[in-house]
Structures are given as structure tokens and as C-alpha cells.
């Protein structure tokens, strides 16, 4: 049975691939059928500028002349088999992470090739370290300078570090 959201069918699936440079990618529905176009504008309306391959995604879709297209993103979940590789991040991984507050932040810079970057939390002077594995675990493919996000942060050996990232929309809805 297809759930209807604001007059459009709602589909649960996974990201087949998404290219942030091209600004689009495709979703494969859990129920099968043709690929669904995912444009960066639908992601931006959700509060993200990218999504990693194999991430779970919940969207409403519409039929266009070129096929199915995602209209609105409702949820993104990390790929099912994401594994953290760094010792420091692995040590921080525990059930208490979900209890950490989402702190509003802006991405200062992030380099996919180096595998890390930094963010500034609003009202705080120290940068927050973000490792590529945390990015993947949180369902992002990359981060853009100036992008607004919510971060769950712990104190690491070398300072504050993100252990989870959420879209700005998610952070706004989980406040309070």
C-alpha cells in the first residue's frame, strides 16, 4: 500500500548514487520499480546539500515527463552497514550519543580527500573536528562551507569533535 503525503505518493528507499557536483542522483524504492530522480533542491529543502550512497531515504514523489522525481524529503538514515574506523570516534560511540544535544553549527571547511574538516558552533570560540566516518555514519556525502548543521559533540583528546551530524531541519525540529 502506498502512503499519500500532501496528495503525492510517499516512497521509502535507498540512495543508489548522488553526485553533489552534478546536483542530482537516484533513489531505488524498497518496493522496486523505476529509479527516482533526486535533485539537490529537494535535499536543500530538507536542510542538506548531499547524501551518501546507500543511505535510507523517505520521500514524496511525482510523475514527470522524464519519470519519477522526489519532491520532498522527510527522512534520511545512514547506510545499514556503516562502520566507524577511527579509534577516537569508536571510543565515543555509545548509546549516550543519542542523548547529546544537537548543537547548531556552520561548516567552516570540509575536505573529502583529507577525510576531515571543521565547524563553528554558534556562540563558541573553539572549532569542532568532523571526521569523514562521522559524516558517512550520519548519512552525508560531503559538507559545504557555510552549511548549517546540528552536531552532537564530545570532548576528544585534541578538543571538541562531532560524533553525529544532522541536517539543520532535523536540528530545528529536535530543539527543546
What's the pLDDT tens digit per position in 110-132?
Answer: 988 888 999 999 888 889 999 98
Q: What is the pLDDT of residue 87?
A: 41
- Buried (b) or exposed (e) across 147-157, using 16+ Cβ within 10 A? bbbbbbbbebe
Residue 38, SS3?
A: strand
119 with 127: CB under 8 angstroms?
yes
Residue 35: φ, ψ to 5°: -60, 150
- Grid coordinates of 41: 533542491
96 with 117: CB under 8 angstroms?
no
Residue 2: φ, ψ to 5°: -95, 125
Q: What is the pLDDT of residue 108?
A: 94
**Helix segments in the chain, DSSP class H:** 40-46, 87-92, 132-137, 168-173
> Rounded to whole angstroms, how far apart are CA atoms 142 and 63?
29
Q: What is the pLDDT of residue 29?
A: 95
What's the pLDDT tens digit per position in 36-74?
Answer: 999 999 998 888 888 888 889 999 999 999 899 999 999
Rounded to two decimals, the pTM is 0.59
Domains along the sequence of the chain with CATH? 3-77 (2.40.50.140), 87-173 (2.40.50.140)
Amino acid at each position: 500500500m502506498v502512503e499519500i503525503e500532501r496528495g503525492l505518493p510517499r516512497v521509502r528507499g535507498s540512495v543508489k548514487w548522488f553526485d553533489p557536483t552534478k546536483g542530482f542522483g537516484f533513489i531505488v524504492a524498497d518496493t522496486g520499480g523505476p529509479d527516482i530522480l533526486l535533485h539537490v533542491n529537494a535535499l536543500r529543502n530538507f536542510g542538506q546539500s548531499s547524501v551518501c550512497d546507500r543511505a535510507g531515504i523517505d520521500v514524496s514523489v511525482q510523475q514527470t515527463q522524464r519519470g519519477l522525481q522526489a519532491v520532498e524529503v522527510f527522512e534520511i538514515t545512514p547506510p545499514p552497514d556503516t562502520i566507524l574506523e577511527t579509534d577516537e570516534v569508536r571510543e565515543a560511540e555509545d548509546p549516550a550519543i543519542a542523548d547529546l544535544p544537537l548543537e547548531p553549527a556552520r561548516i567552516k571547511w570540509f575536505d573529502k580527500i583529507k577525510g576531515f574538516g571543521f565547524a563553528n558552533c554558534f556562540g563558541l570560540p573553539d572549532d569542532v573536528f568532523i571526521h569523514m566516518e562521522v559524516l558517512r555514519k550520519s548519512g552525508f556525502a560531503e559538507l559545504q562551507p557555510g552549511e548549517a548543521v546540528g552536531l552532537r559533540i564530545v570532548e576528544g583528546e585534541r578538543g571538541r569533535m562531532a560524533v553525529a551530524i544532522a541536517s539543520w531541519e532535523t536540528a530545528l525540529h529536535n530543539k527543546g
